[in-house]
Structure 1
Amino acid sequence: MSTPQAPLMTASDWAILVLLSFLWGGSFLFAKIAVAEVPPFTIVLIRVAGGALVLAVVVTLLGLGMPRERAVWARFLTLSMLSNVIPFSLIVYGQTQIGAGLASILNATTPLFTLIVTHLVTQDEKLTPMRLAGVMAGFAGVTIMLGPSAASGLSGPLLAQLAVLLAAFSYGWAGWYGRRLTGLHPLQAALGQVTTSSLVMLPLALLVEHPWALPMPSTAAVASLAGLAIFSTALAYGLYFRVLARVGAGNASLVTFLIPPSALLMGIVFLNEHLTLWQGAGMVGIGAGLALVDGRLIRKFL
């Protein structure tokens, strides 16, 4: 009997993942700028509450409405903990002590955790040797891409690195759980998730960090917070739930491999940075890993 496989991805699915990689890749830069002036819980609160406000306007304009069943909102709450509250807080905390590059490497373990979770708890996303090899190749590519600086960064604060790894583990479960939000428009799912995230983060930020007593952040920090809310949360999660419903959690999690190359390309285009040999080799590794996970190109030559 054949092992059930995750759905094959179309060109439009891959295009959404690429766009998501830019939206979420930018979140590491935005967070690194903001965390210099704003404490972690407050950053997460502004991110999810701002994203909820944007999505609420869009959902209202489209006349979609929101579900009223308690069971659906209970799922929203669980997903918000796995996908927003826990990982966002852990990553922002980690970035108080480690750089965005190292954080993106540790975050790239998400597909490993996702494949393990979906293999254990689903019937249609079983782990295969080719998919596992693809994930390992992609993770190696991310590490190579950042070169010697990545290896030296691994000697940084252990607790901060563990925080980002725990965030990736949480994302692994969130990808599986998000598939339980069936029958909803992607924008409804996104709004429900970030709304419940906001309700959880509000007392945490108020009680722990007293944001009203903080000095007014700089223009750069405010712009970074706006970018987190609008692009890295509202727009990104609307796209994510669309692709998650189409291709499954394992495939959707591959976006974390695309984040470092996307950040590199943004640096080349906007900051006049240059491609290094390490970065080029790492991108080849990531491409090979994605080809193995997708499988179609490999099967043509077997």
Structure 2
Amino acid sequence: MSPVPRVPWQAKYLALVLIWGSSFLLMKVGLESLSAVQIAALRLVTGAATILTLLWMRGGSLPRERWVWGHLVVTGLLLGTIPFTLFALSETRVSSALAGIGNATTPIATVLATMAFLPGARATRSKVVAVVVGFVGVVTIMQPWTSARPDLVGFGMALAGGVCYGIGWTYNRRFLARADLGGLSQPAATLLMGCLLMLPVALVWGAFQPGGVSSVWAYDRARLGTSAIEAGSDGGGWAWLPLLCILALGIVGTGAAYILQFDVVRGAGPVVGSTITYLIPIVSVLLGVLVLGENLGVWEVVGFVIVLTAAAVINAPARRVATPAPEVEAAAPRA
């Protein structure tokens, strides 16, 4: 019997770009009947359940050292609870395409966080210039000189979500690199901690809603009837499409995507793996325009190209020198 052929890393790379790029579309559809907090919570719960199930099936285990869990509280917040909530909130005010563009700032934030938190780390001149160019791109997207600018609060939340990823992965590299967290142990623990930290956030949010804490798990039927929902409604007032989109976001886009991420990094190296970061918003923009009929203004497109160029320079491999100082690396991509 012939052995099962291994899937090449290139195929996993492409799948990862499509999965994470579509996450912004899924959130936008989910917002038709679910709140941003509900989306973040469901994404964390289903993602954590998926990873933990795979970890158990592979015979793995969660970290046991207390100091590791202390740092996982921080990474759970920065890589799960906060950015998942921010991206969902941002899409209540801006398009999914624009929210995806905000995610492209992750490499820029990573360079700054690495220089601030990693002793001895340095950024090459080209990366410093790329950071400045990236900020120019962000300002171009925000268009402070015109009244046609996008909602600054919404786009600001998307930017903050990307910054969280950059800081979170830098923190992870600084404090958890020496921990023996092979396989799925660390992503499972990170998502589990993010899930636990999301609970008080959801309860506090629910306490300020008209329906009280019970609104945390309430499904908003009053917002049914939009075109995105009608295709997924059973005709009796229950819309399945938004819920299915968020379940897919958690199971595939958050849980299974971790497996692909690790496989790509193992097969092609971290430099190639990090290039996914600036391909994600390309997919999110295309899906937003083609599927949801969203539009981007001229300045938003120009700023998008500038940010992508800066991210590409930041992710470019550095030249080797005789005794180099630790090089600034881009964060692992997330969405």
**2:160 matched to 1:166?**
yes
Aligned to 1:204: 201
Over 3 Å counting, the alpha-carbon distance change for 1:159 and 1:269 in structure 2 is closer
Aligned to 1:290: 312
Alignment of 1:20-35 (within 5 A): 20-35=16-31
Q: Which amino acid in the other structure matches residue 200 of structure 1? A: L
The structure 1 residue matched to 2:245, chosen from 224, 227, 252, is 224
Unmatched 5+ residue regions in structure 1?
1-11, 272-276, 298-302
Alignment of 1:31-46 (within 5 A): 31-46=27-42
Contact 2:101/2:285, CA 8 A, preserved across alignment: no
Kindly report the root-mean-square deviation, in angstroms, between the aligned alpha carbons of the 2 structures.
Answer: 4.1
Alignment of 1:59-208 (within 5 A): 59-123=55-119, 125-134=121-130, 155-179=149-173, 180-181=175-176, 182-208=179-205
Over 3 Å counting, the alpha-carbon distance change for 1:242 and 1:188 in structure 2 is farther
State the TM-score, normalized to the length of structure 1.
0.74
Over 3 Å counting, the alpha-carbon distance change for 1:68 and 1:55 in structure 2 is same
Q: Distance between the aligned counterparts of 2:307 and 2:63, measured in 1? A: 43
Structure 1 position 195, deviation (Å): 0.8
Q: Distance between the aligned counterparts of 1:164 and 1:154, measured in 2? A: 19
**2:270 matched to 1:237?**
no
Over 3 Å counting, the alpha-carbon distance change for 1:43 and 1:285 in structure 2 is closer
Over 3 Å counting, the alpha-carbon distance change for 1:289 and 1:59 in structure 2 is closer
The structure 1 residue matched to 2:54, chosen from 46, 51, 58, is 58
State the TM-score, normalized to the length of structure 2.
0.68
Aligned to 1:5: none
Structure 1 position 71, deviation (Å): 1.6
Contact 1:40/1:93, CA 8 A, preserved across alignment: yes
Shifted more, 235-244 versus 187-196: the winner is: 235-244
Identity in percent: 27
Q: How many residue pairs end up in the alignment?
A: 280
Q: Which amino acid in the other structure matches residue 168 of structure 1? A: G
Q: Distance between the aligned counterparts of 1:285 and 1:241, measured in 2? A: 26
Contact 1:186/1:239, CA 8 A, preserved across alignment: no
Contact 2:63/2:186, CA 8 A, preserved across alignment: no
Residue by residue, what CA displacement relative to the aligned partner does 1:143-196 show, whole Å, maximum 9, x if unpaired? 99x9xx9x9897232222222222222112111122233321241111101111
Q: Distance between the aligned counterparts of 1:160 and 1:270, measured in 2? A: 21
Structure 1 position 17, deviation (Å): 5.6
Q: Distance between the aligned counterparts of 2:161 and 2:60, measured in 1? A: 31
Over 3 Å counting, the alpha-carbon distance change for 1:152 and 1:187 in structure 2 is farther
Unmatched 5+ residue regions in structure 2?
1-7, 207-214, 222-237, 293-297, 320-335
Over 3 Å counting, the alpha-carbon distance change for 1:52 and 1:295 in structure 2 is closer
Q: For residue 279 of structure 2, give the secondary structure of its aligned residue in structure 1.
A: helix
Q: Distance between the aligned counterparts of 2:78 and 2:115, measured in 1? A: 18
Q: Distance between the aligned counterparts of 1:13 and 1:131, measured in 2? A: 27
Shifted more, 54-63 versus 118-127: the winner is: 118-127
Q: Distance between the aligned counterparts of 1:230 and 1:137, measured in 2? A: 36
**2:218 matched to 1:213?**
yes
User: Larger C-alpha radius of gyration, 1 or 2?
Assistant: 2
The structure 2 residue matched to 1:255, chosen from 258, 276, 282, is 276
> Which structure: greater helix fraction?
1
Structure 1 position 142, deviation (Å): 9.7
